[in-house]
Amino acid sequence: MSEPIRIGIDTGGTFTDFVVARGSRITAFKLPSTPHNPAESILRGVARILADAETAPSEIVHGTTVATNALLERKGARAALITTEGFEDTIEIGRQARPELYNFMVTRPAPLIPRPLRFAARERMAPDGAILTPLDTESLRKVIEQIARHKVESVAVCLLFSFANPAHEQQVASELEPLGIPVSLSHLILPEYREYERTSTVVINAYLAPLMSRYLRSLADELQSLVRNQIPKSNRRSVSVPLRVMQSNGGSVSAAVAAAEPVRAILSGPAGGVVGAQRVCASAGARDIITFDMGGTSTDVALCRGEARTTNEALVADLPVAVPVIDIHTVGAGGGSIARVDDAGALRVGPESAGADPGPACYGRGEEVTVTDANLLLGRFGGAALLGGEMQLDTERARRFLSKLAFDMSRFSQKTVTAELAALGVIRVANANMERALRVVSVERGQDPRLFALVSFGGAGGLHVCELAASLRIPRVIVPRSPGTLSALGVLLGDVVKDYSRTVMMKTVDRNLPAIERTWRALERQARRDLTDEGFRGNRVKMTRFVAMRYIGQSFEIEVAWGSRFERAFHSAHRERYGYADSSRPSEIVSLRVRAAGITDKPRIRRSRSINQREIKPAYTAKVYLTERAAETPVYLRDDLRAGDKFKGAAIIAEYSSTTLIPAGLNVEVDSWLNLIIT
C-alpha cells in the first residue's frame, strides 16, 4: 500500500510554494503566484502533484495571504458594528498614541466600519458580569432593520464586559440570525478586557469573514473536484480531502474554522516559516535563533529563544489585532522591491513591489528595477535561470532598466554611475532596510544578536543573509535544505493550535485558587470539544496554561507559564523585557489563557548517517560582483553537497528554490541534517 500524501502550500506575493510529504520523502517546487486569484496557482500545483499520485492526499495545509492583502488593500466586506450605547466611536477614538509624534497634520487610517454603519444596543453589563441594564430587544430590532436596509454583508458584535457575561451578545446573535450573514461575537473571538483592541479585533474579523469564507469554500470544492478527476476511484481514501489553514499563532485549523475566524490567519504564511525554521534548527541543536524570511514582496523576521514568542499586541495595517500571533516584524523589502531615485536624489528601495505580475524587469514583463534585477546583473545567481532552469532570467533587460536608474543617480552625483554601481547601491539600501528589521526584534528588545544563529530562508534570503549577519556581528548562519519552500514545510510541521482566554483581574496576593481552577477547567473543556471536532482526542491533545500578569498600575501585561513559580517567572520575564524587576512590588493576574494543541502527523526529516571526508570541488565558476570589481567565483550545486563537506568563500551555492551567496573568508560546512552552517 502506498504511503499517504500530505501537501503544504504557502502563497506568497511572487511565488506559491508546494511541499509534498510521502513518509520520510519530502519534495518541493514553486509556481508563480496569481495575485488576481490565488487559487489558480494552488490548483495548478495540486494538479501537478496528483498527476504522479496513486492515492488522494490525506490532507492539505495552506498558508494564505488572502486575509492580509484584503486588510492592507481595504478590500473586505461591507460590515456593520453593534456595540453598547455610547461606545460606537471606540474604534475611531482609539488610544492616545499618535502615529507620528511631531506631525500635527497626521491623519489616522479610516476605521473599517464608517460611522453610519455603527449602531448602539441599549444594554449594560457590570465588570463582574451582573446585568445593570437588560438588553432592549425592541430597539435592537429597529437596528437590525437598518442593517438590512444598508445591505450589510457581515456584522461585528462587541458589547461592554461581554467577556464576563456573554448573555446579551448571544441574544443579539439570535436576533441577527434571520439575516443569514456572518456574525462575529467578541466573547468568542477575544473574551478579554480593553475595549478598543477587542472591538478592533472583532471588526477585522467581520470585515474579512465573507471574503475568506468564499475563498476557502471555493478552493475546497475545486480541490475535491481535482481529486475526483485525477485519482482512480479505487484508490481514493475518501471523497473529502481535509483542508486546513495556517494561523498567525503557528498552528493550523480546519478551513471551516478559518473562514469563521479569519482574523487568526492574518500572518498565516510568515508563521509557517517561523515554525519550519524552529523545527529544522531544533533537530540540528540550534534553539536560540533569529529567523530571516526574505521573499519576493517582503521580509519577515522573528526572534526565538527556545520557542517562538507570541504576542497579543500586534499591529496589522495600523490596526490592533489582539488575538495571539507569533511576534513577527515585517518590512517591505523583498526580491521584487522596486528601486527609484526620489526628488532629493536619494536612492529608495521598497516598500512597493513588482510582485508576480508584472514582476522584476528580468522576468520579461516588468519595467521597474528591483532587488532581483540588481542581484542578477551582479552575477549573484551564478547563472541566468531560476527554479532549476524552469524560469529563465533576462540579464540584458535588467541591465537596460538599471542603466536608466544609474542615469537618474548620476544627475545627483559628482561621478558617472554605472549600471553595476547602481545595482550595488540597490543591494546596500535593501540590506539597510532589512538590518533595521533585525534590530527591532533583537537589539531594541534587549537581546544580543551575537548570542543567536541567523536562519535564512525564502527565495531571496540566501543572497543577503551573510552581509546582514556581519553587520549585526552574528557568528553563525544556518541555511536549511530547500530554503525557498521552508514556509510550506512549516505549515505541515505545525500542530492544530487553538487559544482560549478569560479576563479575571485579581491581585496576585489575593488569588482565588479554586476560582482560577474552575476557569482553567472551563477553558479546557471548550478546548477539548473543539479539538474533538477537528479529529483529535486522548494523547493527541496537549494543554498548556498561561497567565497574563503585570505590576499593579501598569497598562500592559506579560504572559508566563502557569506553575508553582509563576511569580518568579513573571519577574524574570519583566527584567528581560524592560531591564528591571521589583519582586516587592504588588502584581496582578489579568487574564488566564490556555493553548490547546492537536498533535498532527509530521513529515520525518531525514538525517545523514554518514559524514563525508572529501575534497569538494565547484561545478563551475561565474563572474560575480562582490565589490565594485568582478571576480571569477566558484559555484557549488546544493544537490551535490553531502554531510561533512567543507569549503571557504567566496562562493555561490545554487539550488532549485534559492541561491546562497558566501562572501570571501567565510567557512561553510554541511551538517548531518544537510543544513549549510556558515561561520
In the chain, where the domains are located: 5-71+210-265, 76-209, 495-598, 620-678
Nearest by Cα to 624 from 634, 615, 616, 614: 634
Nearest by Cα to 351 from 321, 380, 330, 320: 330
**Distance separating alpha carbons of residues 542 and 440, to the nearest angstrom:** 32
Give the CATH number of domain 495-598; options: 3.30.1490, 3.40.50, 3.30.160, 2.60.120: 3.30.1490
pLDDT at 232: 67
pLDDT at 384: 65
Q: What is the DSSP track for 1-41?
A: -PPPEEEEEEE-SSEEEEEEEETTEEEEEEEE--TT-HHHH
- 76-209 topology per CATH: Rossmann fold (3.40.50)
Cell matching residue 348: 529608495
Give the CATH number of domain 5-71+210-265; options: 2.40.37.10, 3.30.420.40, 3.30.70.920, 2.60.40.3080: 3.30.420.40
pLDDT at 239: 56
Q: Which residues of 108-137 are buried (b: 16+ CB within 10 A; e: fewer)?
A: eeebbbeeebbbbbbbbbeeeeeeeeebee
Cell matching residue 587: 502584581
Cα-based torsion angle of the residue sequence 456, 459, 463, 467 in order, rounded to the nearest 10 degrees:
-30
**Distance separating alpha carbons of residues 412 and 409, to the nearest angstrom:** 6
pLDDT at 434: 95
Mean pLDDT, consecutive 10-residue stretches, the chain (679 aa), reads 81 90 86 89 94 85 89 91 96 83 82 96 94 96 95 96 95 96 96 93 96 94 88 59 92 93 91 93 90 90 90 85 91 90 90 84 90 95 80 91 93 87 95 95 91 94 96 96 93 92 92 93 95 91 96 92 94 90 94 94 80 84 92 94 91 94 95 94
Question: What is the DSSP-derived secondary structure letter of residue 204?
Answer: H
Report helix, strand or coil for 544.
Answer: strand
pLDDT at 416: 87
Q: Say if residue 377 is exposed, middle or buried (CB neighbours under 10 Å; 0-12, 13-18, 19+).
A: buried
